[in-house]
A and B are shown apart, each in its own frame.
Chain A
Amino acid sequence: MDFLFEGFLEGLNMVFQGNPAVYNAAWITLRVSFGATLIASLIGLPLGYFLASTSFPGKGFCTIVLQTLLGFPTVVIGLLVYGFLSRRGPFGFADLLFTPSGIVIGLVVLAFPIVTMFTMTAVSGIDPRAREMALTLGASPRRAAWTLFLEVRFGLISALLASFGRVASEVGIAIMLGGNIEGYTRTLTTAIALESMKGEFGFGIALGLVLLVLVFFTALLSRYVQKL
């Protein structure tokens, strides 16, 4: 028990004394997670809306594909995106491997199905006549979409928060595409993986605590939004 207790004490100590390595990793995590959620929402919100408001042959198949992507292991995403970003891959020329942008690309692949599915569910929940009504009243399709989005805004915010929580806490993509470079692509999760490898239990716990707080506030915000 001493071992556990001391680890926690050491961890808390590091957090409150402002250990630079801990906060550096937290800052990098925030940056890539924000970036990925932002881009994922630019894809996922329109796509989710489109899937919910139109019917076309193959729609069921699209939904199943998205559902599958939701359950995709992050190491597989990391591996696939590595193939694209490696110098031998089609986008090697852009030199994105082992950069924060490389991580963001992988995280977008992880996050956009989450945003899409949440959006689809939220928009499907509205009476379909609402959109027709808006169109009949002379709204442009774009305007009608905006109206519906406002109607389900809390659902959409939950979508963004859920995807943020997911990308901030994953490790496979960040380590494969970022390379865990100190002060550059070392996120909270990859730092934890490294410290546990070095047997630095306390340091790992400190990083874990910061991540926990981050995800906790995301969940809290999500809960607050849903209650509005």
Chain B
Amino acid sequence: MNQATFFLSILFFFCLSSPPWAQERLKLATTTSTANSGLLDHLHPFFEKEAGIRVHAIAVGTGKALKLAQNGDVDVVLVHARQAEEAFVKAGHGVNRKEVMYNDFVIVGPVTDPSGISGSENVIQALRTIAAQKSLWYSRGDDSGTHKKEMSLWQETGLKPGSGWYQAIGQGMGKTLLAADEKKAYTLSDRGTYIALSTENRIELKILHEGDTRLFNPYGVIAVNPKKHPHVKFELAMKYIDFLTSPKGQSLIGSFRMNGKILFHPHLGD
């Protein structure tokens, strides 16, 4: 029986303990667009080496990332939904919000462009055309930054999308693009994820509308307010924010390429 106890304790140790050399960790809630594109894998090794810690990235939609931060389950967030970010800071959940980088949203759809939106004057007109033709439109429907942007654009059209042609599929950006590709639907995507999927020929969707100032997509970083959640690693979070906004961090962001294409433009300029 003693042997069994000994064996069990060994197993317990093996399964549950973290190794003694485990480093301190900073929990970052971020969006799928930054994590799945490989940007964070490009940035974090430098910061981890400099600060001697590990950054644990949890990739979810912007809405969920802010929720995790509000609950105090992470230390810092890197998201893209300016209005929601400002509301988050105003409500006292976060402090020291800083602009990090930007790219833009694009309307993508089948190569054949069945609704004929490619010549549209602006994105609002493009959406109105899609609605009038009742072409299939996939919405993220997941309260992500992209979804929030899409909602605000539809609101501006004055239309209430729905009934059949407008489908909320409740998936991340990658899955939504893959699904839109399969079903020949239109959708709104951040340029980074679109480039990541299209340069490797995983999708045939084409960019059919771009360049409208409404489609600007800035990313911000915010530390969780230590007054609300005393347990958060505020100093590390501030270090991380300083790193992202430092000339070094900014140039790293600007140097990130996927198959030769820039996915994110640093806030300080390329």
Contacts and interface: CB of A to CB of B under 8 A. Distances in A.
A194 B200 CA distance: 17
B197 A180 contact: no
Contacts of A101: 16
Interface string B165-205: 00000011011011000000000000000001100101100
B244 to A, nearest CB: 19
Interface stretch (A124-132, A196-204, A210-218): A196-204
A31 to B, nearest CB: 5
A87 interface: yes
Contact of A197 (B15, B74, B172): B172
A179 B58 contact: yes
A99 B177 CA distance: 31
Contact of A32 (B8, B11, B15, B231): B15
A92 B27 CA distance: 15
Contacts of A182: 57
Nearest to A95: B231
User: What's the dominant secondary structure at chain B's contact region?
Assistant: mixed
A157 interface: no
A14 B200 CA distance: 18
Chain A contact-residue range equals 20 to 34
Contact of A199 (B56, B59, B178): B178
A181 interface: yes
Contacts of A104: 15-16
A197 B175 contact: yes
Interface string A84-103: 00111000110101111100
Interface string B216-256: 00000000000001010000000000000000000000000
A38 interface: yes
A38 B4 CA distance: 13
B157 interface: no
Interface string A185-223: 000000000101111000000000000000000000000
Given A38-B11, A182-B57, A197 B32 contact: yes
B203 A199 contact: yes
B167 to A, nearest CB: 18
B21 interface: no
A129 B92 CA distance: 67
A180 B202 contact: no
Contacts of B171: 197
Contact of A181 (B8, B12, B56, B200): B56
Contacts of A92: 72
Contacts of A196: 175
A86 B74 CA distance: 10
B14 interface: yes
A34 interface: yes
Given A98-B58, A179-B58, A34 B231 contact: no
A198 B37 CA distance: 9
B15 A98 contact: no
A179 B36 contact: no
A87 B233 CA distance: 14
A185 B14 CA distance: 15
A184 interface: yes
A196 B178 CA distance: 10
Nearest to A179: B58
A11 B18 CA distance: 30
Given A181-B58, A198-B174, A97 B73 contact: yes
21 contacts: A31-B14, A31-B15, A38-B11, A38-B12, A86-B72, A87-B72, A87-B231, A93-B231, A97-B73, A98-B27, A100-B18, A179-B58, A181-B56, A181-B58, A197-B36, A197-B171, A197-B174, A197-B175, A198-B196, A199-B177, A199-B202
Interface of A: 31-32, 34-35, 38, 86-88, 92-93, 95, 97-101, 104, 179-182, 184, 194, 196-199
Given A38-B11, A38-B12, A197-B32, 17 more contacts: A31-B14, A87-B229, A98-B58, A98-B73, A98-B74, A99-B18, A104-B16, A179-B58, A180-B58, A184-B54, A197-B171, A197-B172, A197-B175, A198-B36, A199-B174, A199-B177, A199-B203
